[in-house]
Amino acid sequence: MFRFRPRHPLSTPPAEATGAAAAEAPLVEVSDLTVEFTGSRKASAVNGVSFSLPKGRVLGLLGESGSGKSVTLRALMRLLPPRRSRIGGRILVDGQDVLALDEKGLAHYRGGIASMIFQEPILAFDPVYTVGRQIAEAVRAHDAVDWATARARAIEMLEHVQIPQAARRYESYPHEISGGMRQRAMIALALSCRPKLLLADEPTTALDATVQIQILLLLRELQKEFGMSVIFVTHDIGVAVEVSDRLAVMYGGRIVEEGDLAAVVRNPRHPYTAGLLASTVTPGLRGRRLTTIPGAPPDLSDLPQGCAFAPRCAFASADCAAAVPPVRAFGQAGRLACFHPLESAVPGALGPGPIAVPTA
C-alpha cells in the first residue's frame, strides 16, 4: 500500500519556505471531530472540532485542563485507546484519511508524516533503552537502513537539536540526562524521519522556566528550517504567543474562537478568550489583583445543552443556555462560536491584557 519514500538527507536545505503554502491544499483538515470515552464513565471530550492548517504554519491550541486539546492531538495521532474511545468526524493529513488507516498504514503515518512530542520527556522514553537507540529505532521503523546507518542518523539528529557530545549522549539512558536535554532528544526523535506535521503536547510545561524558552526557540527554529506544520497544545498563553501563527481556543471540547495570533490576543471576541487573557500574569499587572474567571470548567460527562461556557459567562443570556452557538466566520480570517461576541476595541473592560505579540 505504501511504497518506500526517499527522504532528503539532513544536510540538504528544507524543501520549501513558509510563504508559498497559502495557495496549496491545507496539510491538516479536521472536520467535525468528536471523541467520546466509553466504559464505566462516559465523557464527551471533543464535541465537533473543525480546523485546517496550511503547510509550514503553527497552530496554537489553547485551553485549560479538560478542554479537549490533548485529546484532539491524540486523535490526530490515533493514540486513543480503541476499546475505550470512539472517534467521529474526519481527519485528513497530507491527503490521508487518518481514521481509516490500518495498522500498517498507521505505522507509516506515525513518525513518518505526523510526529508527536510529549509533555513529560522522562515518561515518554522507554527507561530500559538508551536514548540514541530509541531514535535509531524510529529511523529504522521508517527507512530500510541497518543499525549503523540509523545510529549515524540519530547522532546527526542529536547534534541538530544542539545536544553537546551527541555521540556520547547516544549511549545515555533517559534517567542519566537532564530534563531539557531529554526534551531535546524527544524532539530529535520526533523529527528523525522528517515528518510534515509535528504535534506538540505541552512540551515545555514540565521544564524549568529558563529551559522552557530554549526549547521554544529551538522548536521555532526547527519548524522554519524543516518547513513543518506544527500543532502546539498549551494552557500557557505566553508560550502560545511565542510559537504560534494562529491560535485556536478550546473550551468544553469545542473550539470557541480561532484566528490569527495577533487578532486573537489583541482583540479577543469570545468572553472566555478575553477572560483567559485577563487572568494571565504580565509585568504590567504588578501589585494588582489578577482577574479570574468565576466557576469551574464543565463536567465532560454532563455537558450543558447550550454553550459550555455560559454558566461562567458574564454576558450569557437565555439563548446561550438553550443551544450551542454555531461556529461562524468572524473578522478577516477568524472564527467564533458565541451569541454575544465582545465589541472590538474594548478588551480593556475585562482587563489590560498587554501581552506583547512578536512581530514576524
Partner 1 sequence: MFAYMLRRIVYALPIALSVTVICFLLVHIAPGDPLSAVAPVDAPTEVIEALKRAYGLDKPLVVQYGLWLGRAVQGDLGSSVATGRAVTGEVLGAVSNTLLLAFVAACLGFLAGCAMGGIAGYRSRSVLDRVVSALSVAGVSVPHYWLGMVLTIIFSAQLHWLPAMGAGPGGSGAWTWDYAHIRHLILPAVTLSVIPMGMVARTVRALVADVLGQEFVQALLAKGLTHRQVFFHVVKNVAPTALAVMGLQLGYLLGGSILVETVFAWPGTGFLLNNAIFQRDIPLLQGTILILSLFFVALNLLVDIVQPMLDPRMRRS
- Per CB under 8 A, residues contacting partner 1 are 74, 77, 79, 103-104, 107-112, 115-116, 118, 120, 123-130, 137-138, 141-142, 173, 175, 186, 189-190, 193
| Cα–Cα separations (whole angstroms), residue 137 to 104, 110, 190, 241 | 17, 13, 11, 34
Q: State which residue, 59 or 124, has the beta carbon closest to partner 1.
A: 124
Q: Which is nearer to partner 1, 62 or 186 (CB)?
A: 186
Residue 123 has phi, psi (to 5 degrees) of -85, -20
Task: Tell me the C-alpha to C-alpha distance, in Å, between residue 8 and each of 2, 220, 332.
Answer: 18, 20, 37
Cβ 20 to partner 1 shortest distance, Å = 28
Helix (H) or strand (E) holding 167: helix 166-170
CB 172 within 8 A of CB 128: no
CA 54 to chain centre: 14
What minimum distance in Å lies between the beta carbon of 120 and partner 1? Answer: 7
Write down the least CB distance from residue 133 to partner 1, Å: 11
Beta carbon of residue 123, minimum distance to partner 1 (angstroms, whole number): 4
Give CA–CA dist 62/333, Å, rounded.
18
Residue of 268, 258, 223 lying closest to 242 (CA atoms): 223
The answer to whether 226 and 187 have CB atoms below 8 angstroms apart is no
Q: Which is nearer to partner 1, 111 or 275 (CB)?
A: 111
Nearer to partner 1, 129 or 147 (CB): 129
Nearer to partner 1 by Cβ, of 127 and 287: the residue is: 127
Distance CA 68, CA 62 (A): 10
Q: Give the residue carrying C-alpha cell 500557557.
A: 236
- How near is the Cβ of 161 to partner 1 at its closest, in Å? 15
37 or 109: CB nearest partner 1: 109
Q: How far is the CB of 122 from partner 1 (least distance, A)?
A: 9
Q: Which is nearer to partner 1, 192 or 273 (CB)?
A: 192
Instruction: Please list the residues that pair with 19 across neighbouring strands.
Output: none
List of residues 6+ apart from 113 with CB closer than 8 A: 93, 94, 96, 195, 196, 197
Cβ 146 to partner 1, closest distance in Å? 17
According to DSSP, the β-strands at 229-234 and 197-201 are parallel
Q: Which is nearer to partner 1, 24 or 171 (CB)?
A: 171
Q: Which is nearer to partner 1, 69 or 142 (CB)?
A: 142
What is the chain's percent helix, strand, coil content, to nearest 5? Answer: 35, 20, 45
Cα separation, 114 vs 194, in Å, equals: 9
Taking the complex as a whole, the smallest distance from the CB of residue 210 to partner 1 amounts, in Å, to 24
State the minimum distance, in angstroms, from the CB of residue 203 to partner 1: 12
